[in-house]
Structure 1
């Protein structure tokens, strides 16, 4: 099984010659490039200008050499800990020509030539270059429309001038500097041209995701799902603007696919530099109305990403979204390959039922009804999983091969991640939705939370929703109906905009209305009871994520829980792995069972304290001497195994697919 790669393996991409073969079309303003599937007459791959549709040979200029002895940087899940869009190291390079080629491409002039070995291997902002300082040890291209200020900051830093070159305007004087500068007629146009040139070198499938809500979850789910069987790139950052899209194009190597999340800050522009094969529009909601005005304007703005598709591209659209007709009309102008998903009877991939308590889903695709489960809660996440299935359909993939990966995917931090923790000496279940909020997602999340935890006391901790425009107060007050339907026993609010909701709540539901996170942290622990379910949701700028982090950092006694592990790799059966991991579990005094699955993997159910289980998971990546493990996935489950540890007989297995 292949894995998601949010960064390069140690691969050195070197451009063997100038970009003469693609300069003319790019300089003349060709906005997009799409790799063709067929080789040219000479047998080399080609790229096609969307403007002219003329094939242009390009593979002859690219050579790839893998660094010997370099560590394998593949990871098993998406790393969300870094804010950096591109990690710059000497072991990961993706160059677009040398300094002379770059000047020819952009029609610019160097104030001084960079070092002979310099190549534009990463595209970063001046701010990120300064943040890294001496850690920048490979060739970086940056840009500045105010070179005097930027050069002053760079000169005062510990950044090595041998590694960094700047794109600057060709108007006005620039001081003499140790940092090479390429003077160009238009810095923004130059950034677009060099990004398009870098995109033209990528042979994999580019997928781009936009929408008012669900972008991050769908992007990560797609990367996780495709990464089950191919090398898949996804940015390591939650930033999703145009600058980040440009930067992440330079992170691409020889992956089979790449997933980009595109926000309002990336449009227009991202459609031209990404030239995606697949575009997903997740939903249109009352988000950022200060920028867009109306939801119809929002739909029109998000549809701009579809302009990057060529006639063979695939548009995946949530047909339930408000003003989906606007989105569909734009999609039809670009391509005939349109796949819709949602609850509507007309959806190509349709949600038939969703069970909040178990995550069980029944859906249909072109009339074929099927069932599966997901590790995320909420009907909105059930719809997000349909988006992934629709993409698989659009790419012509066998859905059955990817369903286990969809089932294994867990919620993204701040977007539905569920944690068991102890707060004030009481064990509670926390649902973290603190990263984003708008009226549509707030209502859906509150009501879904109420259904999911109907068997226990429910607590809502809600913060202001930002950027809603002049009707913000009314939109906050309108949440009262959703709160009532959720059955929440107590509601705690934070922020001035939540005053209207506070006024609309029943007295019995009112917990407290605060204006700061510190006030909430002081009050909430005393209000919680054992086994409470707590939902925390707000716009990120409200800062409610601090509540989640503060509680997560509290030391707490561990309660035994049950875990399901699935081990995959080219050699995990027939090499003694099942017996070995059973013995390891017994040695750690865990209860459970282990079995070989019919799909070549090893599955186990275990019960014990988290630290003990995690120690076993760490050991499971190695196994006995002849084992070869690619991946170990784990998930907390409610099933409690029998006392002791046993080896579950393979002959009792009847399923060909597991919904773990």
Structure 2
């Protein structure tokens, strides 16, 4: 039986609650759909009151409930379950004083970098990390509350849509090292001064940095000097990565060799060359960010390099699939989880750099939260599409109409306002040897198109 993560008495002490039925929990969940045997179920109150789902949580195996109203289950009673979850997270952090904690944010790449850092931490010892993209005001305290007391190293993803969201999350984590992968025009409709506001919001990650902490920053980003200054205001040591002269980890080479790439770096005057299981050009600087974060969290160099060599692309973030169709197969590159102008250009550059037997086809859905400049950002993708020698473009969404109009007729594959209505035309156009990349914001349902293309696979049919 798994070791108890929390006893009822420990929970009550952590959150200032009252025990109403003894139990021990091996995990923490806020969603009945993912409750596992032995979990503490925390019913949050939002559009629906989570207390309505307590019977289902118990039926699914929950050992106890953190409740603000009477429930028919062992419970710890509190006034506010959300505040209690936050308090439980703080208690988990405090009871693991030797744990080195890292936090990652950025306009692009924070989930993939967090996952790669996690891979290194797990090779190095007892590690803990965010699952999925649990990076908001609920996900961060939940991730903390799930942290075992014997954790040696942990990494947390921290995200935001507005100003003043990252500050409290960084203060919860109190990281020893933080990374900002990059700053770009993402969520800018929520910032009156555009990208400058995004940069200020990302700099909030320094708010909780432990004394003597390390800030890992992108030396190639236009906001580097600003971020470096903000980090130094709190006494952080700044390590940088990128192609810029003077970077702590300076990228000197990135070569794609089949399904992997070889990265060359000047790391504080030392030359290193190492393989990674990623072919996206953005993984040159990303791998250096990971390398520096692992060093900051006391992971040995050889362990960090082994983790990078083994770390595979994540579903929806560059994972590839060979799809068998009549007459052969095509390659599906699934970038459907999210998109913004920065990541779109990086993905197109990567597609243009790879050798293909057939055609390069891109399938794009709307980039969201770009504000009044949305039409321009979409139309400007025509240039990197041309530079990547893309043969055919399929587009879906009201914002992508601006790109459709900017494309020459020779590249136009198909357009639909509603994503699902593009599926049949797209499926009918693909031929063996093609490389098809699907990318778009999560909210514009790019994943529907990626799923439809994956489902064409004749090799998986019985």
TM, length-normalised to structure 2: 0.88
Q: 1:51-66, aligned counterparts within 5 Å?
A: none
Say whether 1:274 aligns with 2:173: yes
Mapped contact 1:121–1:141 kept (Cα < 8 A): no
C-alpha distance in 2, partners of 1:146/1:527?
A: 42
Cα separation, partners in 2 of 1:456 and 1:244, compared to 1, 3 Å: same
Cα separation, partners in 2 of 1:544 and 1:143, compared to 1, 3 Å: closer
Say whether 1:447 aligns with 2:447: no
Aligned position for 1:428: 330
C-alpha distance in 2, partners of 1:140/1:521?
A: 39
Q: 1:107-506, aligned counterparts within 5 Å?
A: 110=18, 113-115=19-21, 117-118=22-23, 122-125=27-30, 128-129=31-32, 131=33, 137-144=38-45, 150-151=50-51, 153-154=52-53, 157=56, 159=58, 163-167=64-68, 178=72, 182-184=77-79, 189-202=83-96, 203-253=98-148, 254-264=150-160, 267-293=166-192, 294-358=194-258, 359-423=261-325, 425-453=327-355, 456-506=358-408
Cα separation, partners in 2 of 1:124 and 1:245, compared to 1, 3 Å: same
C-alpha distance in 1, partners of 2:288/2:54?
A: 51
C-alpha distance in 1, partners of 2:272/2:114?
A: 23
> Rg bigger for which structure?
1
Per-residue CA deviations over 1:295-346 (Å, capped at 9, x if unaligned) read 1111111111121112222211112223122221221122342211111112
Mapped contact 1:356–1:448 kept (Cα < 8 A): no
- Number of corresponding residues: 449
Structure 2: 5+ residue stretches without partners: none
Q: 1:566-605, aligned counterparts within 5 Å?
A: none
Q: Quote how far apart the aligned CAs of 1:240 are.
A: 1.9
C-alpha distance in 2, partners of 1:523/1:529?
A: 13
Tell me which moved more, 377-386 or 264-273.
264-273
C-alpha distance in 2, partners of 1:472/1:138?
A: 43
Name the structure with the higher helix share: 2
Aligned position for 2:2: 10
C-alpha distance in 1, partners of 2:37/2:238?
A: 43
Aligned position for 1:101: 13
C-alpha distance in 1, partners of 2:243/2:305?
A: 20
Cα separation, partners in 2 of 1:302 and 1:95, compared to 1, 3 Å: farther
Per-residue CA deviations over 1:541-579 (Å, capped at 9, x if unaligned) read 221212222232334349xxxxxxxxxxxxxxxxxxxxx
Equivalent in 437, 441, 453 of residue 539 of structure 1: 441
Per-residue CA deviations over 1:177-233 (Å, capped at 9, x if unaligned) read 54657454x766554333212210123221111111101110111111232232322
Mapped contact 1:337–1:394 kept (Cα < 8 A): no
Mapped contact 1:206–1:275 kept (Cα < 8 A): yes
TM, length-normalised to structure 1: 0.63
C-alpha distance in 2, partners of 1:494/1:424?
A: 26
C-alpha distance in 2, partners of 1:413/1:227?
A: 20
C-alpha distance in 1, partners of 2:408/2:57?
A: 59
Q: 1:633-644, aligned counterparts within 5 Å?
A: none
Secondary structure in structure 1 of the residue aligned to 2:229: helix
C-alpha distance in 2, partners of 1:498/1:378?
A: 23
Secondary structure in structure 1 of the residue aligned to 2:124: coil
C-alpha distance in 2, partners of 1:542/1:422?
A: 27
C-alpha distance in 1, partners of 2:209/2:203?
A: 11
Q: Quote how far apart the aligned CAs of 1:101 are.
A: 2.5
Cα separation, partners in 2 of 1:139 and 1:514, compared to 1, 3 Å: closer
Q: Quote how far apart the aligned CAs of 1:510 are.
A: 1.1
C-alpha distance in 2, partners of 1:426/1:292?
A: 48
Cα separation, partners in 2 of 1:195 and 1:304, compared to 1, 3 Å: same
